[in-house]
Chain A
Amino acid sequence: MSSHPVVIDEPGKRVLLMGNEAIVRGAVEAGVDVATAYPGTPSSEIGATFARIAEATGLYFEWSANEKVAFEVAYGASMCNQRSMVAMKHVGLNVALDVLNPVSLRGVKAGLVFISTDDPSQHSSRTEQDNRWLAKQNCVPVLEPSSPQEAKDLTRVGFELSERLGLPVMLRTVTRLSHMRSDVSLGPIEESGREVGFDWEGFSYRVAGFEKLFRRHKERHEKLDRAQAEFEDFEYNELKLKGGERLGIIGVGFSYNYVIDALRKAGLGDDVAYLKLITPHPLPERLVSKLLTSVDRVLVVEEVDPFVELHVKALAKDIAPGLEVMGRMSGHLPREGELSPMLLDGALAGILGTSSETEDRTDLEEESSKLLFDRMLTLCAGCPHRASLYALKKAVQAVKGDLMGVVVNGDIGCYGLAHAPPLNFEDTYFCMGASIGVSQGMAKVGVDTIAWIGDGTFFHAGIPGLINAVVNNTPIKVVVADNEIIAMTGFQPTPQTGRTAMGKPTKRIMIEDIARAAGVEHVEVVDPNDLEAAEAAFRRMLEAEGVAMVIARRLCATEALRAMRPDKPVPYLVDADACTGCKICQNQFGCPALVWDDEAGRARVDSTLCTGCGACVQVCPVGAIRISEVA
């Protein structure tokens, strides 16, 4: 789609961009050649945007099998003089860490910028890990933009920096930046046009010699020194210091917004010195020292760990021993979680001994939380995972005599919601693919388990674990909740979908083929919406010797609706005369399209939500649910 604002070639035009889209625009302006990603909130729109514009711009984009592969693909291109970008959520970098290390040691040829979208306060992640530590561990310079405009500009700058230094550069966002939208002023688009060719002198053992390439820790440190020197005069770092201020504030990346808003609200714009710090690593020590030696107290504001604060403390020890350093370590700001304008108002008021004027609404909020439900997350109407879980519970009850007869180890995806009511059938989930691994440790010591893993996650990190179970004779039972797509992050294809990121047909790699090739002898594929057949398949799996797998395959209901547009599904209905009001369809199955009609004391189907999947028909003990029209 050439009309996407990310590819408009009108420098100076103001367009509305989300932080993640602005990153893609920055890459386009830098003439990026190759982009890769693995989806994960809050990063997914980066890849989704690349997928939309790749063809129009002539760049190459792929959703890679996992973050490590994504990083390697990008690195391969960089060694051949092509600018490359790789995007992932923060925990994705844990997966890619194994390759980040040699990339930073060996260096890059054409610019390589990787995006880590961190998630303070865990809006959609299991952790709020701060990836700046990983950048530090691997001597990688970090750029932390404060706005979509800067996200765009710094992406472009990041490519140049990466090339000048010969290091990969990390662009780090937080959820609030990735997902915020604002007006962004576009810059010129650079033609790619770099000559393709492997840099033999830079990377080849045969040409450059093994010894020269192998031990590079010293070179890496020297590159980082050069990065530090550049950051001392980096135009995006901004020191506002007139002299005579008692208090200084360092606002790092996105957190700078909170600082400025709080200062504006308190009317303190002129009385407090501040440093907007876009480069947390390596820390521009001379620049920071200017502030530290001019004030009595300094407050460091950043998300989510006290990364800069710790460095500032170390620095202050030498150059400003009397300075009070405040932040997350001193208790002036909370130790965990994202910040907010309110938190900064409060911190400033506490430090200056003033009062912050924001009206307190906690009493009303308490009243509302007493009155109002929380609105728990739930699987969509018609979700095939609901049917799978319903049938799986029946099978476990029948075979084990007790739903607690197995530990259900879940995994990362929509189906992770198996723990939610009314299905309540999941005990753990940890990280991509862990269901298959932890189930083996439990099985080895005699605890029965079910590994409950999605199709996308199986491809990402489930396969080595499955092979491990087979070769070690660990008889785990694996249910693949196969909705034929990576639904949770925005409906990206899996290797089984049969199309690339750009929608081009490609080979389908079937999970059952992989499982059989890995030596799993008991493999069945079943449609979960056929509850009876699914239950029978799950029973056979539970009773089988050795490693056994059932692939419960049916397309994600939401994707199915998207695919049939503008047509709509034919909804089901509850025959009010037949319905006995037993509520089984709600209390045990819980499709959001099955609502309770208080006045009638009967269940009712909300025809605007029903996806016409028909699974509930088999749940009703008196057969009161049927399709509304005969097709």
Chain B
Amino acid sequence: MNAFRLVISGVGGQGTLLASRLLAQSAIEAGLPVKIGETYGMAQRGGPVMGHIQIGEGVDSPQMRPAEADALLGFELGEAVRRGITYLRRGGLALVNTRKLPPVEVISGMVEYPSQDSLLSLLKKVTEEVVAFDATALAEEAGDPITTNVVILGALTASGMLPFGEETVVNVLRESLRPAYFEMNRRAFELGKEGYVKALGN
């Protein structure tokens, strides 16, 4: 079996690192080897964050080559496109949170944030499988925007691409999160699954 390769992109503070860890822990529970390569420099200061997750045999380097990822988890619209066009393979799945986090260049009026249409049509040059939805809104519905990462994990699980089942992910969620937060995250996970199905329909 080929390794399953995934790119996660977002901005510091969005919980991308936790999402990578939850997926990797799920892989371990499922008895699969896993490698995560993370690029975060000074993420605290609003910088871009990217994770490469490779699950399965035959992987040594934690960094992927361009055009190798089976799926992209885009936590922020612009960052999703930036990484997707480099790493996503032809026909790979792009899950994109349509929420924008404008960087300081945009805030201080130096440049404009490009439109969602222009960004997504660039991404579509790599793959038609673009599933875009407002994951942050679903997280807010679940109780806290901080659960955006789990919404996106739910969507990925619903896609059926993971080399392990939903139960594994939910168990890891239960074991890794504090009990007080589990119920909210469980809701976020379900909303993510539904969000994926709805967005597919659009």
Residues of A within 8 A of B (CB): 14-16, 41, 123-124, 146-147, 176, 179-183, 256-258, 260-261, 264, 340-342, 345, 358-361, 364-365, 367-368, 371-380, 414, 417, 420-422, 487-488, 558, 583, 586-587, 590, 592, 594-596, 608
Interface contact B61-A257, CB-CB below 8 Å: yes
**A183 to B32 Cα, complex, angstroms:** 9
Knowing A257-B61, A378-B103, say if A365 contacts B35 (CB, 8 Å).
no
**A372 to B104 Cα, complex, angstroms:** 13
Q: Which of B34, B67, B81 contacts A372 (CB 8 A)?
A: B81
Contact partners of B24 in chain A: CB under 8 A:
16, 181-183
Contact partners of B48 in chain A: CB under 8 A:
375
**A420 to B110 Cα, complex, angstroms:** 12
Knowing A16-B28, A368-B85, A558-B44, say if A360 contacts B66 (CB, 8 Å).
yes
**A342 to B44 Cα, complex, angstroms:** 29
Knowing A371-B114, A590-B108, say if A345 contacts B103 (CB, 8 Å).
no
Interface contact B107-A590, CB-CB below 8 Å: yes
Tally of contact residues, B, Cβ under 8 A = 57
Contact partners of B21 in chain A: CB under 8 A:
16, 181
B134 within 8 A of A: no
Knowing A372-B81, A372-B119, A377-B47, say if A361 contacts B67 (CB, 8 Å).
yes
Contact partners of A261 in chain B: CB under 8 A:
59-61
Interface contact A379-B45, CB-CB below 8 Å: yes
Instruction: Give the secondary structure class of B's interface.
Output: mixed
Whole-angstrom distance from the CB of A153 to the nearest CB of chain B? 16
Interface contact B86-A14, CB-CB below 8 Å: no
Interface contact B46-A592, CB-CB below 8 Å: yes
Interface contact B45-A417, CB-CB below 8 Å: yes
Contact partners of A345 in chain B: CB under 8 A:
65
**A594 to B58 Cα, complex, angstroms:** 47
Knowing A368-B82, A371-B119, say if A587 contacts B108 (CB, 8 Å).
yes
Contact partners of A417 in chain B: CB under 8 A:
45
**A488 to B58 Cα, complex, angstroms:** 36
Q: Mark B1-35, 1 if CB is under 8 A from A, else 0.
A: 00000000001000000001100110110000111
Q: Mark B123-142, 1 if CB is under 8 A from A, else 0.
A: 00110000000000000000
Contact partners of A592 in chain B: CB under 8 A:
46, 102, 104, 107
Interface contact B45-A583, CB-CB below 8 Å: no
Knowing A359-B66, A592-B104, say if A124 contacts B41 (CB, 8 Å).
yes
**A487 to B110 Cα, complex, angstroms:** 28
Select the residue from B66, B90, B109 with max chain A CB neighbours within 10 A. Answer: B66
Interface contact A124-B85, CB-CB below 8 Å: no
Interface contact B108-A341, CB-CB below 8 Å: no
Interface contact A358-B105, CB-CB below 8 Å: no
Task: Return 25 A-B CB contacts under 8 Å, by A number.
Answer: A14-B28, A16-B34, A41-B42, A176-B62, A180-B35, A180-B36, A180-B38, A181-B21, A183-B24, A183-B28, A264-B58, A358-B65, A373-B106, A374-B105, A375-B46, A375-B48, A375-B78, A376-B104, A378-B104, A414-B42, A414-B44, A586-B107, A586-B109, A595-B107, A596-B109
Interface contact A372-B110, CB-CB below 8 Å: no
**A376 to B33 Cα, complex, angstroms:** 35
Whole-angstrom distance from the CB of A347 to the nearest CB of chain B? 14
Interface contact B45-A375, CB-CB below 8 Å: no
Q: Mark B87-123, 1 if CB is under 8 A from A, else 0.
A: 0001000000000001111111111011000110010
